Amino acid sequence: MTLQGKNICANKNNDRGRLLVKCPDKPGIVATLSKFLYEHNSNIIESSQYSSDPEGGTFFIRIEFHCDNLQDKREELERDFKRLASAFFMEYRFTYGNNRKRTAIYVSKEIHCLMELLWEWQSGDLDTDIAVVISNHENARNIVESLGIPFYYIPANKNIRHEVEEKQIQLMQKYNVDLLILARYMQILTPNFVSKFPNRIINIHHSFLPAFIGARPYERAYDRGVKLIGATSHYVTNDLDEGPIIEQDIERVDHRDHINDLKKIGQQVERRVLARAVKWHLEDRIIVQNNKTIVFR
């Protein structure tokens, strides 16, 4: 992309905003939001909505909009919206196109998910700044550093878990990280660590949750004679592999596929499932509701 092209894209993003809303459902919400944006000289580009139950349920909406000179108007926009939000008991957040989220990728020995994320990032399909990669193995160092991304090797095991996580937290602060991606990082995180990044840690689990929670899922799947291999991407909570699910996918297998075949097929699913989940988070397409997600694809 030429410098002129980059400047055009940057200017375009400067005037783009997103609004995510969750509130009790009632008539008039969409009309009120549309009127508010119209009165603030904003044009709606994309709008997706969902109601859990039109009678007494919860209403969710994601709106992407364009507004000339948005960066000069955002303070006024958010101030005026507070009054509207109060009247409808809204939980909401504004995000802006010029504020690219900064991500950290955690990885262990297997680097196929990391490679997929790096490829998506290089091709421009992952709208983020990859600030740092952290690993308890050295396997990925050369690849990561060749792209100009800082790489930190931090050995980890259950005996030094708290010390390791303290270093990791310091790095998250140093690099001002918004999102943590566990790209097959094979370590259990402590409640202290998870609590510092609520709904900001995305994991890929190499099975179709809730089946085969924990270790050795492919071996257990093979022993069970499954006909479908899947992968699940979810937000991390203190309940192992039970956080809000963002995305899942599957591939069909049969009796001719042995454990190594299942793992190879599974890795292909893992890569695309994690990449999609990360992309949707970066584009503010996810609203967490209890232990579930609303995903506006």
- Shortest CA distance to 96 belongs to which of 184, 215, 14, 189? 14
Residue 88 to residue 23: CA distance in whole angstroms: 7
Instruction: Count CB-CB contacts under 10 A for residue 197.
Output: 18
Amino acid identity at 154:
I
Could you tell me if 246 and 252 are in contact, meaning their C-beta atoms sit under 8 angstroms apart?
Answer: no
- How far is the CA of 228 from the CAs of 170, 208, 264, 267, 268, in angstroms? 41, 9, 13, 13, 13
Among residues 241, 249, 254, 257, the one annotated as catalytic is 241
Residue 293 to residue 247: CA distance in whole angstroms: 9
- The answer to whether residue 284 is catalytic is no
Q: Which segments of the chain does DSSP mark as H helices, in order?
A: 3-14, 29-39, 70-88, 112-122, 141-146, 161-174, 191-195, 217-224, 259-282
Query: Coil, helix or strand for 55?
Result: coil
Q: Measured at the alpha carbon of residue 137, what is the angle toward residues 206 and 105, in degrees to the nearest 5?
A: 60
User: Catalytic residue numbers?
Assistant: 241
